[in-house]
Chain A
Amino acid sequence: MNQPILTLSDLAFTYRDAPKPALDQINYRHRSGEFTVIVGETGAGKSTLCRCLNGLIPSFTKGRLEGSLRVSGQRASERPHVYELARIVGLVFQDFEAQLFSTNVELETAFALENFAVERDQMKTRVEQALNRVGLSGFEQRDPSSLSGGEKQRLAIASVLAGSPSVVVMDEPTTDLDPAGKRDIFRLAQVMRSEIEGILLVEHETEHVLSADRILLMHEGHIVQEGPPGEILADPRNVERHGVRPLQTTVLLSELGLETDALTIEDAAARIRSAGWRVRASAQEILDGTSRRERPSEPRQSVVHIENLVYRYGEAPPAVDGVSLDIAAGEFIALVGQNGCGKTTLAKHLNGLHTPTEGEVRVLGKSTADWTLPELGRRVGYVFQNPDHQIFANTVRDEVAFGARNYGFSEEKVVQKVDAALAETGLSGRDLEDPFNLTRGERQQLAVASVLATDPEILVLDEPTTGLDYHGQVAILNLVRRLNESGRTVVMITHSMWVVAEYADRCVIMSGGRVVQDGDVRSCFSNPELLESLYLEAPEAVRLGYEFGLVARSVSEIAACLERVEE
């Protein structure tokens, strides 16, 4: 009874030509019916582990595999081909663009069944069931490229589910998704757990994983801790040390000196109250006073003025549909909204990559139509979502100098600007390294540095934290905050609502190409129903604040508003 479906004994894997193992001494038994979440920093070996489970390692990616992996009691080494293990262990990847290849939803879902030689009449039913399971019934004839990010990822899951695997492994399925898309994936995982023998899921955000049966905390190729969420996540310092953002409930409990094993918002709030903590009478003044910087009494100079902007790609309905927006010098703006709501399209107007179909965009006092693209690009630094879209040079220094040289700075000025940019981004002394040897987080910082070297007044960042672990996220966010404090105007596109709450001053929410909400961050979070209706959700810390009737932006703000009343 309850026989393990996966048994890993002393599993170790070293990529070909790698100096040290990516996985080492992995021992794990996945029991039937379990939902396990794998967390850990970048490079901890999470993806490598996932790929071992369905046989991609070692048959697709070569290297030295040691120890043993048993699937349904049978040694994996007796099934040398990926397709043999893949029937039992289905794998879903993070990048939903790269894993879909058919022209319609139905055929995408049927692909595995065709390979497994399932008869046609059965195939129809299984495709129907799988699509129904992920909520894509009625989408059969749609082109996958016309789906939203969340729908694409659910289609990828359906295409794996159709093959009726015993175990489904998902490698960061929600990283590129907006909050609503994330929630759908976790709801789906909940439904699936009762129907298949096991789910393993890699995830960065701890607040989503409370419903898991088991958490594996990985670090440098090892599973350093294994247990139910209540056990692993109850130690915020330990979690954070391993590159994972701790649950904000546990952070607050620990700040107040309480036991940290109440993980959910309700439990944590109840514990805090029963320990005698109450909201201070002066809470509102405290919150008003903690706004990161004093709002200047003088109206600040406007650096961006957008009026009735409409932008269409070809004959499609407008991607940006009548946006008017004013941005003042020195603001830190978060631009949020669902995948495909027009955020990136809007942002690309600021540096002239897009020109308005209708309306006008004025930057630094001049219409973008009157700027030359290079000159505007120098004044408005744009950091693309993925640093690998732009890195090409042999050394960090040349990479950073690229923009400055393009704009014809004198070599003397280039050296000076590059040095300053490297210093600001914490990359000083690494000038001669190969950019491709940097970690993903460092490459993101490099991308920021290469924009800084041209001395822009306005910085636009498109999802700078995506794909980074917690340490990487905090590093880049603190960098952006410093740049903002030194006077640069920042416009940041993001899906992470906690980033909005803790770092931005002003929040602009878009939906269907329009701006539907625009105000300082606290006012945005004071209306949870509105957020909900826009498929957004206040982050954990903010929702924890709601429990005390506060609209707080972070756990430390909540702590500042509480006081202990002696019984």
Chain B
Amino acid sequence: MVLYIPSDSLLHRLHPSTKIVGLALLLILTVAFQSPWYQLVILSGVLLLARSAGAFRNLRRILPLMITVLVFSVVSWSLFRRVGDPFWTFGLLSLSTESIRFGFAMGFRLEAMLVSGMVFVSCTKVEEFAYGLRAIGLPFAVSFALSLAFRLVPLFFTRIGTVVQAQQARGLDLKSGNVLQRARKYVPLMVPIFVYAIRDTDLLSMALESKGFGMQGRRTEYLSFPFVWRDYAILGLLLILNIAGWLMPVP
């Protein structure tokens, strides 16, 4: 994917299906707990994973987002959620030890989810993602379409950039005017962008068909990933954590 960082770390070498299922298990695990301390442990865990996969470079890119998410959820959950015994109230707003705990738990959970997702995209190529989905049992056409979408999004954005520049060069000013006037200004952008999207899709479909896409019957794979002990180990560990987490009574 766009954010893929080449490396030879343990996480990179995992079977693609392990990466996908592992991500899912991690996300489920974060939902198992309500305690901020447990969430903090999970968050530290995924941060360690990010460290080992060399994904900090990508985390730095979304640092502003991560900070916003943390601050926003801590503040809003603490103030708006009415649980326990508030030691301060003001209209709709209140604060209690429980609501603050909850705010931090939610904040850490969202952070852990963000970081897990980032680790996943940092160590998984588009083709691996598609391969992993197929190995789990998704049909080829579906997994291919999904991976193609990842591939085409950046391409589509460059096309949009060109059209915007072409119209700006003709004096299109998207910043001024009221809502209605501004909405009308998007027409000169939308028409060429749609023309382009249709034309590109058409060409791509022809290129795909010309290389045997859609052929019936068996298909072979150029990539091949052995499913080995580390995959069993990782998935086993995550499974045990999940079972323990969901069976545990309180936190």
| Bound form: Cα–Cα A54–B208 in Å | 12
Q: Is the CB of A115 within 8 A of B213?
A: yes
| Segment at the interface with A among B17-25, B31-39, B63-71, B220-228 | B220-228
Per-residue CB contact flags for chain B residues 153-179 toward chain A (1 = under 8 Å, else 0) read: 001000000110111111111000000
- Tell me, yes or no, whether A107 is within 8 Å of chain B by CB: yes
Known: A98-B204, A114-B221. A403 touches B171 (CB 8 A): yes
| Bound form: Cα–Cα A106–B218 in Å | 21
| Bound form: Cα–Cα A445–B125 in Å | 44
CB distance from A391 to the nearest CB of B (A): 6
Chain B contact residues: helix, strand, loop or mixed: helix
Residues of A near B248 (CB, < 8 A) are none
Known: A93-B206, A99-B207, A159-B211. A389 touches B196 (CB 8 A): yes
- Tell me, yes or no, whether A558 is within 8 Å of chain B by CB: no
- CB < 8 Å: which of A112, A377, A381 contacts B212? A112
Nearest chain-A residue to B207 (Cβ)?
Answer: A99
- CB < 8 Å: which of B163, B210, B224 contacts A389? B163
CB distance from A262 to the nearest CB of B (A): 39
Q: Is the CB of B220 within 8 A of A120?
A: yes
Q: Is the CB of B204 within 8 A of A389?
A: no
- Tell me, yes or no, whether B188 is within 8 Å of chain A by CB: yes
Q: Is the CB of B203 within 8 A of A377?
A: no
Q: Is the CB of A390 within 8 A of B167?
A: yes
- CB < 8 Å: which of A56, A107, A116 contacts B209? A56
Nearest chain-B residue to A391 (Cβ)?
Answer: B192
| Segment at the interface with B among A79-87, A129-137, A199-207 | A79-87
Nearest chain-B residue to A127 (Cβ)?
Answer: B222
| Bound form: Cα–Cα A406–B167 in Å | 10
Residues of B near A82 (CB, < 8 A) are 209-210, 214
- Tell me, yes or no, whether B219 is within 8 Å of chain A by CB: yes
Residues of B near A104 (CB, < 8 A) are 125, 127
CB distance from A127 to the nearest CB of B (A): 7
Residues of A near B233 (CB, < 8 A) are none
- Tell me, yes or no, whether A351 is within 8 Å of chain B by CB: yes
- CB < 8 Å: which of A107, A113, A373, A390 contacts B127? A107
Q: Is the CB of B167 within 8 A of A106?
A: no
CB distance from B171 to the nearest CB of A (A): 3
- Tell me, yes or no, whether B215 is within 8 Å of chain A by CB: yes
- CB < 8 Å: which of A51, A91, A103, A373 contacts B168? A373
| Bound form: Cα–Cα A83–B222 in Å | 19
| Bound form: Cα–Cα A145–B163 in Å | 20
Q: Is the CB of B170 within 8 A of A403?
A: yes
Known: A115-B211, A160-B211. A389 touches B168 (CB 8 A): no
Q: Is the CB of A406 within 8 A of B171?
A: yes
Q: Is the CB of B220 within 8 A of A114?
A: yes
Q: Is the CB of B166 within 8 A of A86?
A: no
Q: Is the CB of B219 within 8 A of A382?
A: no
Q: Is the CB of A102 within 8 A of B127?
A: yes
- CB < 8 Å: which of A102, A113, A374, A388 contacts B196? A388
| Bound form: Cα–Cα A406–B187 in Å | 14
- Tell me, yes or no, whether A548 is within 8 Å of chain B by CB: no
| Bound form: Cα–Cα A381–B166 in Å | 11
CB distance from B56 to the nearest CB of A (A): 17
- CB < 8 Å: which of B166, B170, B219 contacts A115? B219
- Tell me, yes or no, whether B183 is within 8 Å of chain A by CB: no
Residues of A near B196 (CB, < 8 A) are 388-389
B184-202 contacts to A (CB < 8 Å): 187-192, 195-196, 199-200
- Tell me, yes or no, whether B217 is within 8 Å of chain A by CB: yes
- CB < 8 Å: which of B172, B192, B204, B224 contacts A388? B192
Residues of A near B237 (CB, < 8 A) are none
- Tell me, yes or no, whether A28 is within 8 Å of chain B by CB: no
- CB < 8 Å: which of A102, A107, A113, A392 contacts B188? A392
| Bound form: Cα–Cα A99–B205 in Å | 9
Q: Is the CB of A101 within 8 A of B215?
A: no
Q: Which among A123, A403, A406 has the highest number of chain B CB atoms within 10 Å?
A: A406
Known: A90-B210, A106-B222, A389-B166. A60 touches B205 (CB 8 A): yes
Residues of A near B199 (CB, < 8 A) are 388
Nearest chain-B residue to A90 (Cβ)?
Answer: B210
Q: Which among B190, B203, B222 has the highest number of chain A CB atoms within 10 Å?
A: B222
CB distance from A211 to the nearest CB of B (A): 26
Residues of B near A98 (CB, < 8 A) are 200, 203-204, 207
Q: Is the CB of A406 within 8 A of B173?
A: yes
- CB < 8 Å: which of A110, A113, A351 contacts B169? A351
- Tell me, yes or no, whether A326 is within 8 Å of chain B by CB: no
Q: Please give the residue numbers on chain B whose beta carbons come within 8 Å of chain A beta carbons, in ascending order.
A: 4, 125-127, 148, 151-152, 155, 162-163, 165-173, 187-192, 195-196, 199-200, 203-215, 217-224
Q: A101-B148, A114-B220, A123-B220 are in contact. List 16 more A-B contacts (CB 8 A).
A: A51-B206, A81-B215, A83-B213, A91-B206, A93-B203, A101-B151, A115-B211, A115-B215, A117-B220, A163-B212, A348-B165, A377-B171, A388-B196, A389-B162, A391-B195, A392-B187
Q: Please give the residue numbers on chain A whose beta carbons come within 8 Å of chain B beta carbons, in ascending order.
A: 51, 54, 56, 60, 81-83, 86-87, 90-91, 93, 95, 97-99, 101-104, 106-107, 110-120, 123, 127, 145, 159-160, 163, 348, 351, 353, 373-374, 377-378, 381-382, 384, 388-393, 402-403, 406-407, 450-451, 454
10 pairs of A and B residues whose beta carbons are closest in the complex: A406-B171, A115-B212, A392-B191, A110-B222, A99-B207, A112-B211, A403-B170, A83-B215, A98-B203, A390-B166
